[in-house]
Amino acid sequence: MKKTALALIIAAFSMGAFAADHNHAHLSKIGDNGGKNATKATIEYNNEFAKILNFKDVRAFENNNRGLIAEFDQATGDIIRNSFNFINADVANADNAPDSVNPSLWRQAVLNQAATGLYEVVPGKVYQVRGADLASISFIRSDNGWIVYDVLLTKEAAAQSLKFFQENVPEAGELPIVAMIYSHSHADHFGGSRAIKEAFPNVKVYGSKNITKEIVDENVLAGNAMSRRAAYQYGATLNRHEHGIVDAALSKGLSKGEITYVQPDYELNHKEEIETLVIDGLEMKFMDASGTEAESEMVTYIPSINALWAGELTYQGMHNVYTLRGAKVRDALKWSKKINEMLVTWGAKTEVLFASHSAPIWGTEEIGAYLKMQRDAYGFTHNQTLRLANNGYVMQDLGDKIYEVMPTSIQQSWHTNGYHGSYSHNSRAVYNMYLGYFDMNPANLNPLPIKAESAKFVEYMGGSKLVLEKAHADYAKGEYRFVATALNKVIQVEPNNAEARKLLADTYEQLGYQAESAGWRNTYLTGAQELRVGTLPGNPKTASADILAEMTIENLLDFMAVRVDSVKAQHTPFTLNVVLPDTKEVFFVEMSNGNLSNIKVDKTLVADATLYINRSDVTKTILKQTTLKALFASKKAGLEGSQDVLNKLLSALVEFDETFEIVPRPEKGQEVDAELYH
């Protein structure tokens, strides 16, 4: 009994506890089209939108095409790019969007599709494989081999990209990878690390300040919710088609496979703002940028080649100040200031800027203009949001108002468009960061729960039949935003109302077709799909053994506390010491008032029971290198005191629903327009 209970506790530690800024969504082909055609109103909307876009500016395509050494072979292209072959990557196709795709997003999709192989960034010194994953992998020549900077999302993508690089780089392809660097704490920049480590066991690994802590901390507690939401943001179950997913904003999409993590041998400490290291003979200056796009992040200047690595502080588009999958709001002002610091510190001497996403930029003047525009886009979002807020505008108004005050120069610049993070949701994020969700209107202080509010809304409107009559009329006029609001109330109250379900799904679909943001498009289209046929297979996987193994015991206990059902636990109080002999750590755990708390202590306290287990054995158990049964058989773990403690804990733990409802799903037999999703 003791062994079984303890095994379940450790298993509880390792449940899906990690979700990165870019989850490895398993994108699948669903149906032939996966959606209906664009309506007349959507076609007119997209045509009008196209009129404000500067299609004559093709500089990003020119930079993307520069330095191509080798186009992908079949195996490398199959990782991501080839499944988007319905998109012609020619620049001439950039202003030829299908009716069902916002013309600005289509242009970004064409640009990202044009990334197709190994590129020379600095002759003989810097190369990139672009288009094989959400991020790019960069190879920098050092005295005795290569330094690899950011290593993609999955082990499989990194292994194939490394092979492609070695086979096609003009010279020195036989030399080893001597160092591996992670620019920041998001998974598409470290997830392929195990492939590099296995190929070159002696590689030395470097990471940004506190990267390991931030990786295991960032998304643990809300990991299940984030993962489910990420399925919407990244279109995890949508087909790759002009009616489905067309782009992931930062690149074409995300590779499939295993996210891994090799812990750095050295994490930058940045006792000063800029830390200089010489790595295999190459001087590199690392500037701390933590708290901008990621909680742990850095940018790098390489003096010998006048090259600036911008990490993910810049790319060909506006990034997320708030990411739709859910995360802490990022500091747009700090982000703007850090880009400005890069510009002032190195801008005058930088001859090439390259980064984790998008093509490099060459020439000091062009780099300076690019950095200024990127700086000002985040500064504008921060400053104008607060200017408007200080004049009484509230969160719900800001999504539209921010566009009304946008300078023409920012609007006309392709590389500040809202493909990943829209100005609409970013401005609302800034408001929330400073002022919270409440707009101070008493009517919004304590609204009814969603279903109860929906019932009263439909009642006040005269019933669902009348709401549907009005909704059909507004849908015909292309007034989709309020149709979505009204019909969502109806479907909350009457989930089996097929007419409402059909029309709401059609409405979400048209809003998706109009969206410039890839995340908005995918969210609308996934909502339409789940309204019609329910949740399809393909949700992201959240747990990575390499990452879970780096979690502290405090992390694990905090995560376990989130899984406690307080109603059950209020009747089963207990105290427990957790002793880790190999690290000489002791934690005191208490269940009281339905809450599980933990604190690190100097020595064991009076408790109902004491659990002894080495920290190294917790890691081995998570990695499935051993079992608790084996640990207890060898007396490497043990329990003293009341075994009821374990039973009390286990009885209070709940399993998360990995496919919880986001939109009201149809009951079996109540699906609508199912023929769209074979």
Q: Would 626 be classed as within a structural domain?
A: yes
| pLDDT tens digits, 320-364 | 999 999 888 999 999 999 999 999 999 999 999 999 999 999 999
Report the domain count for the chain.
1
**Residues of the chain under the 70 pLDDT cut:** 1-33, 540-543
| pLDDT tens digits, 453-495 | 999 999 999 999 999 999 999 999 999 999 999 999 999 999 9
Q: Would 634 be classed as within a structural domain?
A: yes
Rounded to whole angstroms, how far apart are CA atoms 173 and 104?
Answer: 39
**Looking at residue 22, what is its pLDDT?**
39
Q: Would 498 be classed as within a structural domain?
A: no
Q: Would 271 be classed as within a structural domain?
A: no
Rounded to whole angstroms, how far apart are CA atoms 218 and 222?
Answer: 9
Q: Would 636 be classed as within a structural domain?
A: yes
Rounded to whole angstroms, how far apart are CA atoms 561 and 576?
Answer: 14
The token pair at 256 is 């499939």
**Looking at residue 388, what is its pLDDT?**
97
**Looking at residue 551, what is its pLDDT?**
82
Q: How far is C-alpha 513 from the chain's CA centre?
A: 22
Q: Would 503 be classed as within a structural domain?
A: no
**Looking at residue 543, what is its pLDDT?**
60
Q: Would 143 be classed as within a structural domain?
A: no
Q: What are phi and psi of 580, to 5 degrees?
A: -115, 95
Using CA atoms in the order 218, 219, 221, 227, what is the torsion angle rounded to 10 degrees?
170
| Helix, strand or coil, per DSSP, at residue 431 | helix
pTM over 0.95: no
- Identify the CA nearest to 87 among candidates 286, 211, 247: 247
Rounded to whole angstroms, how far apart are CA atoms 266 and 245?
Answer: 39
CATH number at residue 628: 3.30.1050.10
- DSSP state letters, 375-405: HHHHHHHHHHHHHHHHTT--HHHHHHHHHHT
Query: Cβ contacts of residue 519 below 8 Å, gap of 6+?
Result: 233, 234, 249, 320, 323, 324, 420, 421, 422
* Cα Rg of the chain (Å, integer): 26
Question: 571: domain range?
Answer: 2-16+551-652
Q: Would 630 be classed as within a structural domain?
A: yes
**Looking at residue 565, what is its pLDDT?**
96
The answer to whether the Cα torsion of 639, 641, 647, 653 is positive or negative is negative
